[in-house]
């Protein structure tokens, strides 16, 4: 029988059409919005799963699932929030709308963090040591810059403005850092010196600060050898927020009355004072998020002729083009001037005054950054992110120390989350270009370039085991003059002024949930740091006869950190927290540090005059072992709420090869035992606050053990020989005498506050309550007892 296909074609078409319509009609649609139960803020990236089908919420918290008719267990989860499970039955062709409100997890182990893997992960599941600082602590302690609150974190020290984690760095004379500072995931170090400008970071608009301890170069590159401090700024929520604060601070008399210089007939000021003002406003305008922060500070320090005046403004914008595409523009402008000194003048009345020739002044400075960004989710749920920055610095300094620096930063990041198998893949490329023109760097021009690619895999197995592995390949190129001179001595020749270097770095980590609130972790990561322009080419003086010289032959340092730790959560009624115990070991090869390069004496009519020259060199290989115990807790106890952050860190920092009698293997140390310079072997931190409405009381305790080893010149020694007082500079004689009578320090701060109304709070603080005399690094005495009054207004 012959079939007429021509006549049958319309019939087949109609049959297929109606059949397909019937098939698709069997599907139901589940859609909705996920928000914060307290603030009603939309939650971007929340997971919504119905069996094997899942989706992530968009920038407006929305989601949509196409499901076959039937019954489903719907799971809605978000990092830092308590998950919800719903049972639904969907009919064919039905469209069901859900409004899901998630409650904060009220569990510190569920605190959302991003630094360890470039995506949100609960604190308890992170494979490395990490602490999180919330803005409440910054506000209640009246921290005028981020470094003032970082010293309360266990294992973190700030030595003359440079961050050190678990003894990974000492005193670096203001150049180079092994701790990378990020602002919203973008590096924020000064390009020429690799140092953080703490006054740039907006304390008035911080959502949290994440402190990652240990090598992290595999994800973030050079300068992340010893850890990362990621400052995450605040963002607009559904309800507008405005915060205003004003404060005033003054210092009392020193413990030793002989050290007081202010209030005398010859002094310029009658009392050291500090005043400041901050303002922050966050608001949504439909799809536009607007954030504005401003900060101004006026300070006349307890150190004579040391002052700071600056003003900062940080407008930030975020625009949601649609549910997949978000554009951002963060900016930061900071202008000011300041005065400081490097070493004190000596003991007694000179302790808070500059040593001869060591004062320096910034007559005017301008720093600003512009950070455009883009985030896009494609139809498969993959995240594409572009981060960029232009950073400009102009310092008009005295003493031929002026400099101009520019940084250009760009990063593309791709991330794919395969929720069904628990795998998150993150890969990216980074480019950094720096230009420097500076008197302080032998009055020359420099350029540097960094190119890198990275890959990280995070795999979750059986909902208990988290595995993480990362790789980064990095290339550094530096252009400089081919030779650098100081006086008539040739210090180094660089062929064609060009240095190139490339290295891979790796990291591995694992975290296993032993019980509901018990997490065991282990990690190993490599570190790598390329020398900064300041470390290789700085040429300047401090004090009479003392100089810092360039070293063009300086090479990069490498290292690794391994640790094993356990986090144990606990709950006592409504009070909850966790205890963390960690053992760690770090090794560094070709560690860069400033050392005494030469010393000689000249004799004139006024007697002997010393001449010392320091420069950065690759010293011996080092090894640091230690342990850390910390406790973090918060919640209701009795009629009020109690928060606590405390921890003990103990380290054993040593050179791998040390010979006290061999100048090549004692590294210019003041101590005859094998211990790294400028480290506190034991530190203890504790901050406690108890609140019963409308009052709050807080106390902070910080203990640093005796700094056993410093550069021997600081105590008047040369190659182990103690100079007679008549030949040693008085500044260094004072250091030796101070160290003989001050073996460690305990600093206690107290604070109290009262909420006058729902929106108005007044606070009174007393710093260094016991009026302890102490130094964090030699020849720079810390401040005496001080008093602060602060007023906060929030709507």
Q: Work out the number of other CB atoms within 10 angstroms of the CB of residue 495.
A: 7
SS3 369: strand
**pLDDT for the residue 12:** 47
The mean pLDDT of 727-752, rounded to a whole number, is 92
68, 26 contact by CB (below 8 A): yes
The three-point CA angle 492-497-501 to 5° equals 95
- Which region among 6-10, 245-249, 384-388, 612-616 has the lowest average model confidence (pLDDT)? 6-10
**pLDDT for the residue 607:** 63
Specify the pTM.
0.89
Torsion of Cα atoms, 195 then 358 then 785 then 777, to 10°: 50
Per-residue 3-state assignment (H helix, E strand, C coil) for 309-335:
EEEEEEEEEEEECCCCEEEEEEEEEEE
Q: Which whole-number Å values give the CA distances from 426 to 13, 224, 412, 469, in the listed order?
A: 46, 18, 11, 11
Judge residue 546's burial from the number of C-beta atoms within 10 Å of its C-beta, 0-12 exposed, 13-18 middle, 19 or more buried: buried
The mean pLDDT of 519-548, rounded to a whole number, is 85
Q: Name the percent of the chain lying above pLDDT 90.
A: 56
CA–CA gap between residue 462 and residue 521 (Å, rounded): 16
Two tokens, residue 414:
């791709």
**pLDDT for the residue 18:** 44
pLDDT in tens, 593-604: 887 777 766 666
**pLDDT for the residue 267:** 60
Pick the residue with more confidence: 143 or 9? 143
pLDDT at 218 > cutoff 80: yes
pLDDT at 763 > cutoff 80: yes
**pLDDT for the residue 615:** 83
Query: Which among 513, 415, 510 has a CA at the least distance from the CA of 462?
Result: 513
**pLDDT for the residue 22:** 46
- Which region among 138-147, 521-530, 552-561, 591-600 has the lowest average model confidence (pLDDT)? 591-600
Pick the most confident of 13-22, 220-229, 231-240, 681-690.
681-690
pLDDT in tens, 435-485: 998 877 877 888 999 999 999 999 999 889 999 999 999 999 988 876 554
Which ranges of 295-409 does DSSP label H, i.e. alpha helix?
Answer: none
319, 290 contact by CB (below 8 A): no
Q: Name the percent of the chain lying above pLDDT 70.
A: 92
**pLDDT for the residue 483:** 57
pLDDT in tens, 666-699: 778 888 899 999 999 999 999 999 999 999 999 9
Give 2's pLDDT tier (boundaries 50, 70, 90): very low
pLDDT at 6 > cutoff 90: no
639, 692 contact by CB (below 8 A): yes
pLDDT at 179 > cutoff 60: yes
SS3 161: coil
The mean pLDDT of 366-378, rounded to a whole number, is 95
Per DSSP, the chain holds a count of helices (H) and strands (E) of 6, 48
pLDDT at 489 > cutoff 70: no
Pick the most confident of 180-184, 485-489, 724-728.
180-184
pLDDT in tens, 323-360: 889 999 999 999 999 999 988 999 888 999 988 878 88
Question: Mind listing the domains of the chain with CATH numbers?
Answer: 26-102 (2.60.40.1120), 110-235+249-265+279-794 (2.40.170.20)
Strand segments, DSSP code E, in 217-306 are 227-233, 241-251, 273-285, 288-300
**H or E element at residue 211:** strand 206-213
Give 367's pLDDT tier (boundaries 50, 70, 90): very high
Residue 758: partners with Cβ closer than 8 Å, 6 or more residues away: none
């Amino acid at each position: 029988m012959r079939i007429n296909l021509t006549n049958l074609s319309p019939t087949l078409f109609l049959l297929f059409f109606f059949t397909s319509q019937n098939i698709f009609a069997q599907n139901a649609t589940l859609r909705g919005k996920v928000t914060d139960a307290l603030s009603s803020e939309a939650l971007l990236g929340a997971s919504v799963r119905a069996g094997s089908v899942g989706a992530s919420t968009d920038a407006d918290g929305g989601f949509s699932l196409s499901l076959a008719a039937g019954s489903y267990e719907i799971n809605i989860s978000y990092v830092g929030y308590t998950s919800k499970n719903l049972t639904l039955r969907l009919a064919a062709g039905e469209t069901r709308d859900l409004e899901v409100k998630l409650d904060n997890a009220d569990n510190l182990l569920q605190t959302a963090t991003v630094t360890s893997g470039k995506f949100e992960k609960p604190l308890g599941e992170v494979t490395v040591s990490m602490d999180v600082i919330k803005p409440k602590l910054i506000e209640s302690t009246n921290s005028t810059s981020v470094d003032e609150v970082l010293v309360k974190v266990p294992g973190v020290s700030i030595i003359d403005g440079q961050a050190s984690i678990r003894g990974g760095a000492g005193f670096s004379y203001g150049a180079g850092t092994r701790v990378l500072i990020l602002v919203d995931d973008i590096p924020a170090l000064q390009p020429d010196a690799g140092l953080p400008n703490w006054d740039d970071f907006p304390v008035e608009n911080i959502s949290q600060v994440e402190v990652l301890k240990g090598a992290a170069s595999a994800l973030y590159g050079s300068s992340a050898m010893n850890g990362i401090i990621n400052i995450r700024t605040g963002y607009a929520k559904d309800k507008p927020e405005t915060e205003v604060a004003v404060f005033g601070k003054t210092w009392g008399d020193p413990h030793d009355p002989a050290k007081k210089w202010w209030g005398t007939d010859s002094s310029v000021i009658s009392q050291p004072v500090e005043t400041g003002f901050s303002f922050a406003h966050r608001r949504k305008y439909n799809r536009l998020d607007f954030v504005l922060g401003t900060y101004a500070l006026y300070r006349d320090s307890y150190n004579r002729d040391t002052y700071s005046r600056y003003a900062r403004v940080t407008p930030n914008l975020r625009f949601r083009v649609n549910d997949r595409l978000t554009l951002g523009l963060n900016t930061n402008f900071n202008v000011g001037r300041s005065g400081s000194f490097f070493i004190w003048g000596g003991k007694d009345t000179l302790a808070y005054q500059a040593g001869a020739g060591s004062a320096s002044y910034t007559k005017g400075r301008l720093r600003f950054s512009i950070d455009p960004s883009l985030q896009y989710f494609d139809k498969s749920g993959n995240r594409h992110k572009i981060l960029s920055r232009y950073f400009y610095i102009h310092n008009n300094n005295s003493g031929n120390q002026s400099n101009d620096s520019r940084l250009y930063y760009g990063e593309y990041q791709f991330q794919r989350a395969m929720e069904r198998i628990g795998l998150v893949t993150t890969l990216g490329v980074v480019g950094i270009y720096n230009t420097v023109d500076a008197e302080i760097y032998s009055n020359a021009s420099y350029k540097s370039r960094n190119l890198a690619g990275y890959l990280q895999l995070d795999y979750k197995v059986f909902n208990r085991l988290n595995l993480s592995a990362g790789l980064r390949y990095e290339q550094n190129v530096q252009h400089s003059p081919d030779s650098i001179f100081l006086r008539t001595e040739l210090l180094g020749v660089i062929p064609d002024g060009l240095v190139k270097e490339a290295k891979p770095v790796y990291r591995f980590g694992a975290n296993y949930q032993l019980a509901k609130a018990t997490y065991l972790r282990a990690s190993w990561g490599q570190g790598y740091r390329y020398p900064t322009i300041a470390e290789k080419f700085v040429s300047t003086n401090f004090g009479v006869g003392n100089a810092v010289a360039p070293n063009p032959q300086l090479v990069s340092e490498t290292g690794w950190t391994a640790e094993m730790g356990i986090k144990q959560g606990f709950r006592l009624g409504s009070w909850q927290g966790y205890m963390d115990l960690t053992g760690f070991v770090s090794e560094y090869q070709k560690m860069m540090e400033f050392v005494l390069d030469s010393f000689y004496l000249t004799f004139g009519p006024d007697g002997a005059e010393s001449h010392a020259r320091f420069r950065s060199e690759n010293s011996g290989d080092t090894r640091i072992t230690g342990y850390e115990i910390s406790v973090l807790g918060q919640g209701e106890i009795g009629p009020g709420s109690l928060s606590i952050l405390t921890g003990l860190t103990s380290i054993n920092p040593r050179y791998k090869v040390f010979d006290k009698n061999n100048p090549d293997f004692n590294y210019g140390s003041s101590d005859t035992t094998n211990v790294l310079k400028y480290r506190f072997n034991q530190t203890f931190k504790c901050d406690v606050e108890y609140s019963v409405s409308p009052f709050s009381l807080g106390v902070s305790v910080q203990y640093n053990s005796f700094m056993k080893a410093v550069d021997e010149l600081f105590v008047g020694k040369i190659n182990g020989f103690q100079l007679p007082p008549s030949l040693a500079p008085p500044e260094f004689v004072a250091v030796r005498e101070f160290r003989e009578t001050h073996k460690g320090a305990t600093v206690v701060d107290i604070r109290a506050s009262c909420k006058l109304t729902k929106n108005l709070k007044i606070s009174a603080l007393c710093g260094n309550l016991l009026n302890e005399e102490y130094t964090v690094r030699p020849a720079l005495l810390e401040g005496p007892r001080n008093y602060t009054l602060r007023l906060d207004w929030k709507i």
